[in-house]
Chains A and B, each alone.
Chain A
Amino acid sequence: MTDADLVHAASSGSDVAFSRIVERHQGAVRNFLRRLLAGGWADADDVAQDVFIVAWREIGRLEDPAGLRAWLLGIAWRRAQDGTRAAFRRAVRDGAWSQSRDASNGGSAEDRIALAQAMARLPPPVRACVALCVADGWSHAEAALALDLPIGTVKSHVSRGRARLLSMLGGGDDA
């Protein structure tokens, strides 16, 4: 079943279809929010839940059902913007990032903290572009659609954000 099929079914009131949408896209939405909120996994997952509740309520208004993923990420982006800075401060203060990470996944805690802190220093639009295009491999066009930004701006944000991250993490020049 395609996303468009699921959207049509969910618009008609099918909770099964909407469950499939959640199953299919929860990873993308949560990944994006975890990176955007730079370390606060619990906050990110709370926002992700809200995103799907909004999507359930508004799915009948989705004009392009094939663009479901970008639409969901757009909702996530708008909902996260207000709370981004506060959520990061709370996550660092509470040490939530360290409790919610699984050490068996590899990577040192210091590297992860450094990445979360480096991400938090990026302006939110740059961070969002990096989260989608660098971390999750989205195309610039899809990120532009989700974030409602011109594609040239997305390219610029990705390039600048990647360079700043590499610089802050000690791996390259701050271009």
Chain B
Amino acid sequence: MTPEKDLEALFALDAAPRRDPAFEAMIAKRIARRRSVAAVGAAAPLAVAGGALLWGLRPVWSGLVEGAVMPEPEGAVLAAAVLALGSALAVVRQVLRG
């Protein structure tokens, strides 16, 4: 065997398999995770906007819910901020892991 052929044979020993379902599944899993994170990320601003809209319309719908316990504005804003922050942190953690 010539040195060139020896070299080719040695390189061939390092070759990855032509099909590797485990590797392919890992990529598919990471892509699926990124898709779900993107979906959450896209929905978060809508959820916050929806919450703000509901809070803004409180005088309209509060009359419809007799006896409902209404949070003070500061409490509602704080709760929305905490929710938004928690969602953002969850998204960032997913992205960093994915």
Contacts and interface: CB of A to CB of B under 8 A. Distances in A.
A171 B13 CA distance: 18
A78 interface: no
Contacts of B4: 162, 166
Interface stretch (B19-27, B44-52, B60-68, B72-80): B19-27
A45 B23 contact: yes
B14 to A, nearest CB: 5
Nearest to B34: A53
Given A26-B24, A53-B30, A134 B3 contact: no
Interface string A46-68: 00110011001000000000000
| Interface of chain A, main secondary structure | helix
Interface string B6-48: 1111110111111110011011101110100000000000000
A19 B7 contact: no
B31 A31 contact: no
A111 B10 contact: yes
A18 B29 CA distance: 12
A104 to B, nearest CB: 11
Contacts, number: 81
Nearest to A166: B3
**Taking chain B's interface residues, is the majority helix, strand, or loop, or is none over half, making it mixed?**
helix
B28 A19 contact: yes
Contacts of B15: 27, 31
B48 to A, nearest CB: 25
A149 B17 CA distance: 28
Nearest to B21: A23
A166 B7 contact: yes
A22 B24 contact: yes
A34 interface: yes
A145 interface: no
Interface string A13-48: 001001100110011001100110000000001001
Contacts of B16: 26-27, 30-31, 34
Interface of B: 3-4, 6-11, 13-20, 23-24, 26-28, 30-32, 34, 98
Interface of A: 15, 18-19, 22-23, 26-27, 30-31, 34-35, 45, 48-49, 52-53, 56, 101, 105-107, 111-112, 115, 134-136, 162, 165-166, 169, 171-172
5 contacts: A19-B24, A27-B16, A53-B98, A115-B11, A169-B10
